[in-house]
Amino acid sequence: MRKYEELAIEIVKQVGGKENIISLGHCVTRLRFNLKDESLANDDVLKNMDGVVTVMKAGGQYQVVIGNHVPDVYKLVNEVAGISADSAPAENNKKMSFQDKFFDIVSGIMMPSIAILSASGIIKGLNTLLVIFGAYAMDSSYYVLVNAIGDGMFFFFPVILGYNTANKLKANPFLGMVIGAILCHPSINGVDLTFFGHTMNVTYTTSVLPVILIVALAAPLERFFNKIVPDVVKTFIVPMLVLLIVVPIGFTLIGPAANMIGTVIGQAINAIIVFSPVLAGIVVGGLWQVFVLFGVHMVILIPSLMNLLSGKPDLFMALITGVSFAQTAVVFAIWMKTKNRKLKNIAFPAWISGVFGVTEPAIYGVTLPRIKMFIISCIGGAVYSAIIGFFGTQMFTMAGMGIFALPGMMDPVKNSASGVIEAGIAIVAAMVVSFVLAYAMFKDDKVDEVNAVKTNEKIEVKKDMLVAPIKGDVIPLSEVSDSAFSQGIIGNGIAINPKEGKVFSPCDGTVLTVFPTKHAIGLISDNGSEILIHIGMDTVKLEGEHFVTHVEEGQKIKKGQLLVEFDIDAIKGKGYSLETPVIVTNTADFLDIIPMETKQTTVGDELLTLLT
C-alpha cells in the first residue's frame, strides 16, 4: 500500500491542501471529496498525474477517479490529510444546490457499505448455485450457515445505514446504529401492535428508507438537546430523550410512510419496464454509462436496492448489470488493434477490470477520449439491456459487479439458473456487437510518420500564420498565472494583456465553440489549426456578464472579423486578471508553434507561426 504514498501526498496538495478538505469518502473507483473551495483544486495537474484516471465534479462532490486500488489510496490520503475515516464530516459552509446536496447525502450514506453489501450478495448467489449443482440441500446445516453469512448484512442493513446516516448528518453514529438495531428487534417486526386503538403490523429488517428518515429526525433533535441539557448528564440523558421521542414517531408514522413510498417507487419503475421492456432496455442500457460518467448512478439504483433488500425480484437492476461488458469488449478490441504501446498499456488493465464491473478506467482512460468508441459501448449496452428486457430477466439478490453479478440472477425459490443463462446470452451478444464495431471503426491517433519516412527522403515543411486577435501587451505563455495554460497542458501558444476590449478572428475559418459564459471561444482555421481564445483568468465565474458575442457556433468567419467585445474596466474592477491566452489546442498535429518575439501587438500583427 505504501507505494501509493507519493500519489496520496500529491492528491492532497492538488485539491488545495488538507485545510480545503471538508470530508472524504470513496466508492469502487473514486475518491469523493467535499471541498471548501473547488477553485483551489488543480484539475489539470490531477488529470495528468500517474495513478489518476481523471477528475469529475458531480453531485456537489469533487471526484478523483483512481481505479481499482482506490481503497489503498483512500487510507493514505486520510493519513496525509489527518482525516479519521470514522469521524463525522467537518462543517460544510459551501453553498450547494438542493440536487447537489441530495446526491452528496445519498452517496455519503450508501457508498461506505456498498462493497460489503456486494460481497454478501455474491455469497447468497453462490449458496443457491451450490444447491443447484447438488453440493448440499436447502435444508442442510451447510446451506443455513452460508445463507446466514450472506444474509446477515441484508437483514441488519438498517443498523449499518443508521450509523452511516448519523455520521453523514454529524450526529452520534452510535445513536444512529441503535435506532437501526431497534427497528430490527424481533419483538416488533411482523407482529400486531396496537397504539391508540390502531393496530399495525410492519417489518423494518432489510429496509432502507425508514431508518434514514428517522435518523434524519434524530440528528437535529440531538443537537437541540445538547444545547439545553446540563453537561454533567448530557452523555446519557440526550440519547435517552432522543430515542424515546424519535423511535415511537418513526415506528408508527415515518417508517410505514417510508415503506409505502419505497414500494410505490419500486412498483412504478417496474411497471414502466413491464409496459415496454425492450424499449426500456434500449434507453436504460444506452444511457447507463453516461450516468456512471457523472457519478449519479448510485442514486438511481436506490429503489432497486430497496426491492432486493426486501426480497423482491427487480427488473431494473437486471437491465444494467451486464452493461459493463459492452465497454469491456470495446476496450479489448482497441487493445488488440492499436499499435500505440502507451494505449495498449492503458487498455489492458482497463478491460481486465471491466470484466469485474469496474469501468471507470476504461471510460476515462480509453473510450471517452475517443468519443466514437464510447458511443459504440453505449450501443452495446443498449443491446444487452434490450435482450434482458425481451427475456424479462430479473435480479433476485444484490450481488457484485461484472461477472460477480450473475449469481444474483439465480432464483433461490425455484433453484433456477435460467436468469444466468439469459444474462449470458445478452452479454455475449452485447460483446460481439461492441467488439466488431469497435475493431472495424477504431483507428490509432496520428501515427509517428518519422519512422515511415526514408532517411534520404526530403521532408517538406509548411507554414501557417495566426495573427493577433487582440491589441495589447504580449506575455509568454509560461508566465500566465493559471498552470493549465502556463504548463502547456491545453496546448502551446501565447498570451496577451488586452488594451482594448475587442477580440477579432486570427484566421479564416469556422467557429467551433462559443462558451455559454462568453469568456472563451474556440475556432478552427481553414488550414486545420484549432484555436482557443480564453479572455481572462477565472472569468467563467462572471457567467457572461460584461461580455458580448458577435458570432455563433458553426459560423464561417474571416480574418479580422469581430468575435467578442468585453468591458475591460468592469472585469478588472471585480478583481479578475485579463491575461488572455491564445492557444493552439491541437498542438500535437504540428512540428512546432513559434510565437513572434514582440512585447506589444495590434490586431492583425503576425503572432504565431505553425509548422507542419
The residues that are catalytic are 27
- For residue 153, the Cα-to-chain-centroid distance in whole angstroms is 26
Coil/strand/helix, residue 509: strand
End-to-end CA distance of the chain: 46
Contact 15, 41 (CB under 8 A): yes
Nearest to 364 by CA among 342, 346, 378, 385: 346
Whole-number Å distance between alpha carbons of 583 and 488: 9
Nearest to 416 by CA among 394, 443, 445: 394
Whole-number Å distance between alpha carbons of 292 and 382: 15
Whole-number Å distance between alpha carbons of 578 and 498: 7
Question: How buried is 454 (Cβ within 10 angstroms: 0-12 exposed, 13-18 middle, 19+ buried)?
Answer: exposed
Convert 543-558 into a string of H (helix), E (strand) and C (coil): CCCCEEECCCCCCEEC
Contact 42, 483 (CB under 8 A): yes
Cell of residue 446, nine digits = 496520428
How would DSSP label each residue in 220-274?
A: HHHHHHHHHS-HHHHHHHHHHHHHHHHHHHIIIIIHHHHHHHHHHHHHHHHHHHH
Angle at CA of residue 317, ends 316 and 319, nearest 5°: 65
Hey, what amino acid is at 481? Answer: S
Nearest to 118 by CA among 154, 161, 86: 154
Q: Could you give the C-alpha distances from 366 to 348, 443, 470, 513, in angstroms and in order?
A: 10, 13, 37, 24
Phi, psi of 495 (to 5 degrees): -130, 155
Whole-number Å distance between alpha carbons of 452 and 449: 5
Q: Could you give the C-alpha distances from 54 to 11, 46, 299, 300, in angstroms and in order?
A: 12, 7, 21, 23
